[in-house]
Amino acid sequence: MERRVAFESSFAIAEAVKMADIDVCAAYPITPQTHIVERVAQLVANGELDANYIPVESEHSALSACLGSSAAGGRTFTATAGQGLELMHEVVYVASGMRLPIVMSVCNRALSVPLSIWGDHSDVMSVRDTGWIQIFAENAQQAFDLTLCAFHIAEDPAVLLPTMIHIDGFHLSHVIEPVLLPEQEKVTRFLPKYHHPFALDVNNPAAMGDFALPDLYTEAKVAHDMALRNSIKVILQVWQKFGEEFGREYSPVETYGAEDADILLLTMGSFSEVAMEAIDRLKRAGEKVGLVRLRLWRPFPFEQFRQTVGRAKLLIVLDRALSVGGPGPVCSEVQAALYHLKERPQVIGFIGGLGGRDISVEGFQNMIHRGMDKASQGKPGEIEVFDVREK
Amino acid sequence: MNDITEIRWHGRGGQGAVTSAELLALTAIKEGNIAQAFPSFGPERRGAPVIAFNRISAGKPIRSRAAIAEPDIVVVLDPGLLGIIDVTRGLRDGGVLIVNSSKGLATVNSEIGGPWKLAVVDATAIARDILKRPIVNTAMLGALIKATGVVNLESLTQPLEERFGKLSEINVQACSKAYKEAVVMEYSPGVKKAEKVYPIEKSLSWKELNLGFVVTEMGNARSYRTGYWKSERPVRDNAKCIKCGMCALFCPEDCIHQDAEGYFEADEFYCKGCGICARECWTGAITMVEA
Amino acid sequence: METLSIYAPRLVTKRQSLTPGHRACSGCGEALALKFVMKALGRDVIVVMSTGCMEIISSQLPYTAWEVPWIHTLFENAATVATGVESARKALARKGASLPKAKVVAIGGDGATFDIGLGALSGAFERGHDFLYVCLDNEAYMNTGIQRSSATPYGASTTTQPAGKASFGQSTWKKNMPAIAVAHDIAYVATASASYPFDLMNKVKKAIAVEGPSYLHIFAVCPTGWRIPTDMTIRVGRLAVETGVFPLYEVENGKYSLNYDPPQLRPVIDYLKPQGRFRHLTPEMVDKIQQRVNKEYARIKEKAAQ
Ligand SMILES: Cc1ncc(C[n+]2csc(CCOP(=O)(O)OP(=O)(O)O)c2C)c(N)n1
Ligand code: SF4
Ligand code: SF4
Ligand SMILES: [Mg+2]
């Protein structure tokens, strides 16, 4: 029987990890990820999850142990946030290049200095180019569903790429909400067994991790790139299968009230739901606005994205990360994706929600209006940091 | 020649090809030219074939930093390389080839002659004689200068002093001796380069790489002929050999195997010529000779 | 000690898990040490290797000199990757997978072990995973061109602490890595040298027989970095032992035993003299090194006598 429980996203993820029957979790605690790994450790301690929990001495080691586990053929999970993801950084590239389908929850957190344990997407942007599949959840239910799907996608023989599920620190990780948990049996049927074709095996030895001379490095990188780009097919299939089995649909680019909208707001992560409220209010006031939620961050869903926003007049993009001295990271990608279209919306970027700063429903209404003003005045500007005290 | 003279050095890791290129660039720059020196950046280790490059120009700015595919001048520091690497690949018609060899001009020309000027010097003998070590890079600089005049011999003294300190004097001597002893055969147009097939490693396309760049053909490094690295090879005196296998035990290449008669024989294909087998032999049955 | 029959070499297995065609320098003592390690390990082994000379010389895409399952990921994490392999295999076996038996062995250079990967190694030891860690100690970062590490001996000239008018090279004493391993209270710690292959291979076998972590510290002469002729590799390794610079000992469950204790140690100068990296040392410095070696050797002897 499906159960309805009250879980924060952290517990929802731990539950998905349990139902996926992982073999190894190697992790190092960092706020706001701690609830996930504590819960996984507890499930192992209770005998509810038959896995080895490796309490490593750093995040670098957390992901390094995951490399070994995944390469040995174990279903492998880890979680981190902010500084932890930074300490892992070089290992992050290795996991994807070596095609080890580790699933990692990232509880999005700001980066020092100043030290901040609170949420934003600075850590996400620092691993943008690491070759992982990256997916955003917006609430606890999605955190559960998408984590489950992540194992399916990552371990698909046509994919074999590690996958990050991003959840916003505190706004998701620590907020209790209702979550529907499916029956274990149904999950077991949904999720195929993990098999790596080159898993470390004395009967079928293979060498993993050769170095490449300039003569082969480009080819190696292209092979990785093609694998990540092509993974979108499997992502769509798995989400479709999930929808059929469990009744909840996901797609790379999702919208809210965008059908007849001239003006679109783009968000990623938990702020999307706040923005929905703002869209409702503005619509009621007769404004032709809508919301675009980028669920799949990597591989970037170029096609779906262009189809969704191509006909709008104005696209307002919220970045929860400040690329110091540069453009808004999501905004500039979006601009690049649209550049080749003959007709494309004007794009206006805002930076906001840094280091745990909330954006309220009114805040989003103001942001949309401010964006419309800038567009009509023909002054898009490079970046604008939303809600910053000047005096 | 062109406004920019391009030079390619062929040697082995540890032989000083890179140092030669550096010294040449320092000298050319001191003379007021514009010059460049760089190695082929790679993981090659002591004994493995290596390449280094120079570009020299009287005034035209040198902008390319790419490896030189069509050199005006090729210098070969190790005679053993001639059989295994296509050292004259891309050498321009009318260019210059300078080779370290004890075989003399005529023989070298018959082996590797072509539409270029050829200079031959026995730099190894010179180095052994003067430096007491087979490090031929400074001698080869002397031969290069004689055959091409890219820089003046005297200009080399100061860079040699700065590089070699106390040892600079003998290096200057080695250089001058090679300058004197190098013999040159002028360019005669129309001569054809001898046809010869060299081993080439096939380059894979991205689709041919295994998932995650995994290698499943275990031990396929066996196809790599490290035997090309050696400048000396072990020779066994069967009269002294007691067939104990001490040589095989200590060979870092694990390339000494017992033959039908029970002798431990080094596999030429892999032997790098380190000399450990000779040194560790109980009875002194093994000696190292020029490869 | 290594006084076996002169025909003993013939008994060493011909099987190669590390094949010829590897690209180590001519005369490389680290490749030789690795050869012995692999011969002793046999085929039922999964090798995890850190970045360094031995990795680079054996794994140029699309080639491998390995015939056993092998994984290299980064410079500082071989111990940790090994713990991941070991943990996954344990979990899979518990859940019913039929896995062939295999020992997990992590191999790293002194840089990987003493310096950048020390925290990771300590964590792996502390957690008690069943694996062997082999340190191939050539006393510097050789892969990147002879830079100093905390394994570099006092007085040696390296490219990042070279000898010069105002420097005599390495100004610190070699870190006591085996003692650090022993401090983790693991069941087996030993030192070995490629110049004493039977002792080395014996220790490999003992180390993998242990349940839980074990640590093998192997002295690996690097002719390129130490500036010695390539044929002197074995000789110099022997001199290190005969002078007491690198004693061969084991620590089994905390109990020290000295495997080779000559009646009279040779003076350290015999070991230092053939090596270019010590060429600049003054008699006073040699004397200082001699004092230190005497003290350290006595300490090991004392522990072994307990
Ligand atoms: C994080 C990181 N820092 C630095 C390097 C560069 N690096 C590669 S191998 C190496 C030295 C290896 O030294 P050691 O572990 O002693 O092995 P050896 O090459 O001497 O056998 C260094 C510094 C690297 N690969 N990764
Ligand atoms: S010289 Fe002897 S020890 Fe050295 S590689 Fe050749 S056969 Fe092996
Ligand atoms: S640098 Fe030293 S350790 Fe590295 S391959 Fe050469 S001899 Fe061996
Ligand atoms: Mg080292």
Distance, CA of A60 to CA of A95 (rounded, Å): 12
DSSP-assigned letters across all residues of A277-290: HHHHHHHHTT--EE
B61 confidence band (pLDDT: 50, 70, 90): very high
Share of chain A above pLDDT 90, in %: 99
pLDDT (tens digit, 9 = 90+) per residue, A24-42?
999 999 999 999 999 999 9
| Pocket around ligand 2 at a 6 A CB cut-off | B 234, 251, 253, 255-256, 266, 271-277
A242 with A328, same domain: the answer is no
Residues with Cβ within 8 Å of residue C130, at least 6 apart in sequence = C86, C90, C103, C104, C211, C212, C213
Which residues on chain B are in Cβ contact (under 8 Å) with A199? none
pLDDT (tens digit, 9 = 90+) per residue, A90-123?
999 999 999 999 999 999 999 999 999 999 999 9
A355 with A338, same domain: the answer is yes
The CATH number assigned to the domain holding B237 equals 3.30.70.20
Contact call for B206 and A223, based on CB within 8 A: yes
Residues with Cβ within 8 Å of residue C82, at least 6 apart in sequence = A68, C48, C104, C105, C106, C124, C129, C131, C133
* Average pLDDT for B29-58: 92
Distance, CA of A78 to CA of B77 (rounded, Å): 54
Which chains share 3+ C-beta pairs under 8 angstroms with A? B, C
Chosen for mutation from B249, B256, B257, B283 (greatest number of chain C CBs closer than 10 Å) is B249
B82 with B160, same domain: the answer is yes
A140 with A274, same domain: the answer is no
Token duo for residue A290:
């809508």
- Reading phi first (left if > 0) and then psi (alpha if -120 to 50, else beta), residue B9 is in beta
* Average pLDDT for A191-207: 97
Residues with Cβ within 8 Å of residue C144, at least 6 apart in sequence = none
The residue among B185, B213, B238 that closes a domain is B185
Neighbours of ion ligand 4 (CB under 5 A): C 109-110, 138, 142
Distance, CA of B143 to CA of B73 (rounded, Å): 12
B135 with B62, same domain: the answer is yes
Q: How many other CB atoms sit within 10 Å of the CB of residue A183?
A: 12
Q: Which amino acid is at A363?
A: G
Ligand nearest to the CA of B281: 2
B121 with B22, same domain: the answer is yes
A325 confidence band (pLDDT: 50, 70, 90): very high
Ligand nearest to the CA of C144: 1
Interface of B with A in 202-231 (CB under 8 A): 203-207, 209-216, 218
Strand partners, A350: A318
Residue B144: inside a domain: yes
A224 with A280, same domain: the answer is no
Q: Exposed, middle or buried: residue B34 (CB in 10 Å: 0-12, 13-18, 19+)? A: middle
Verify cis geometry, omega within 30 degrees of 0, for the bond prior to A32: yes
Q: Is the CB of C225 under 6 A from ligand 3?
A: yes
pLDDT of residue C2: 61
Atom number of ligand 1 nearest to Cα C115: 15
Q: According to DSSP H, which parts of chain A are helical?
A: 9-19, 34-45, 59-71, 82-87, 89-97, 122-126, 140-155, 184-190, 214-246, 271-284, 302-309, 329-338, 361-376
Distance, CA of B278 to CA of C53 (rounded, Å): 25
Which domains, from first to last, does chain C contain?
Answer: 12-305 (3.40.50.970)
Contact call for A201 and C69, based on CB within 8 A: yes
Domain residue limits at B275: 230-290
End-to-end C-alpha distance for chain B, whole angstroms: 36
Is pLDDT at C5 greater than 80 in this prediction?
no
Q: How many other CB atoms sit within 10 Å of the CB of residue C14?
A: 10
pLDDT (tens digit, 9 = 90+) per residue, B17-42?
999 999 999 999 999 999 999 998 78
B241 C-alpha to ligand 3 centroid (Å) = 30
B238 with B135, same domain: the answer is no
Q: Is the CB of C28 under 6 A from ligand 3?
A: yes
Contact call for B250 and C61, based on CB within 8 A: no
Chosen for mutation from C26, C38, C53, C142 (greatest number of chain B CBs closer than 10 Å) is C26
| Pocket around ligand 1 at a 6 A CB cut-off | C 30, 51-54, 75-76, 108-112, 138, 141-144, 149
Q: Is the pTM of this model over 0.80?
A: yes
B154 with B52, same domain: the answer is yes
* Average pLDDT for C1-17: 80
The CATH number assigned to the domain holding A208 equals 3.40.50.970
Residues with Cβ within 8 Å of residue C239, at least 6 apart in sequence = C245, C266, C270, C271, C274
Domain residue limits at A128: 3-246
Higher pLDDT, A108 or B200: A108
Chosen for mutation from C61, C75, C144 (greatest number of chain A CBs closer than 10 Å) is C61
Share of chain A above pLDDT 70, in %: 100
Is pLDDT at A301 greater than 60 in this prediction?
yes
B166 with B263, same domain: the answer is no
Is pLDDT at B83 greater than 90 in this prediction?
no
A236 with A291, same domain: the answer is no
- Report the chain A residue with the minimal C-alpha distance to residue B215: A207
Is pLDDT at B2 greater than 90 in this prediction?
no
Verify cis geometry, omega within 30 degrees of 0, for the bond prior to A114: yes
- Report the chain C residue with the minimal C-alpha distance to residue B219: C65
- Report the chain C residue with the minimal C-alpha distance to residue B226: C21
Residue with CA closest to ligand 2 atom 4:
B274
B195 confidence band (pLDDT: 50, 70, 90): confident
pLDDT of residue C84: 98
Is pLDDT at C3 greater than 70 in this prediction?
no
C20 C-alpha to ligand 3 centroid (Å) = 15
Nearest to A72 among C55, C66, C85 (CB): C85
Verify cis geometry, omega within 30 degrees of 0, for the bond prior to B134: no
What is chain A's mean pLDDT, rounded?
97
A236 with A282, same domain: the answer is no
The residue among A246, A267, A283 that closes a domain is A246
Give the closest residue to C103 by CA, choosing from C265, C213, C7, C225. C213
B13 with B101, same domain: the answer is yes
B172 with B253, same domain: the answer is no
- Report the chain B residue with the minimal C-alpha distance to residue C29: B252
pLDDT of residue A319: 98
A318 with A233, same domain: the answer is no
What is chain B's mean pLDDT, rounded?
93
Determine the 3-state secondary structure of A64 from DSSP: helix
Residue B86: inside a domain: yes
Q: Domain total for chain A?
A: 2
Q: According to DSSP H, which parts of B149-287 are helical?
A: 157-164, 168-181, 246-250, 276-280
Residue A391: inside a domain: no
Residue A390: inside a domain: no
Backbone angles phi, psi at C208, to 5 degrees: -80, -15
Per mean pLDDT, which range of A344-348, B78-82, C135-139 is the poorest?
B78-82
Verify cis geometry, omega within 30 degrees of 0, for the bond prior to C286: no
Token duo for residue A79:
């979680």
Nearest to A67 among C81, C89, C123 (CB): C81
The residue among A223, A246, A269 that closes a domain is A246
A38 C-alpha to ligand 1 centroid (Å) = 35
A40 with A108, same domain: the answer is yes
A295 with A364, same domain: the answer is yes
pLDDT of residue A145: 98
Distances (CA, A) of A148 to A5, A135, A141: 17, 12, 11
- Reading phi first (left if > 0) and then psi (alpha if -120 to 50, else beta), residue B212 is in left
- Report the chain A residue with the minimal C-alpha distance to residue C44: A202
Complex-level ipTM: 0.96
* Average pLDDT for A207-229: 97
The residue among B185, B215, B242 that closes a domain is B185
Contact call for B213 and A223, based on CB within 8 A: yes
What is chain C's mean pLDDT, rounded?
97
B237 with B156, same domain: the answer is no
pLDDT of residue B88: 95
Interface of C with B in 77-116 (CB under 8 A): none
C189 confidence band (pLDDT: 50, 70, 90): very high
Which chains share 3+ C-beta pairs under 8 angstroms with C? A, B
Q: How many other CB atoms sit within 10 Å of the CB of residue B194?
A: 12
Is pLDDT at B290 greater than 90 in this prediction?
no
C128 confidence band (pLDDT: 50, 70, 90): very high
* Average pLDDT for B7-20: 91
Q: Domain total for chain B?
A: 2
The CATH number assigned to the domain holding A308 equals 3.40.50.920
Residue with CA closest to ligand 3 atom 6:
C25
Cβ atoms of residues B290 and B232 within 8 Å? yes
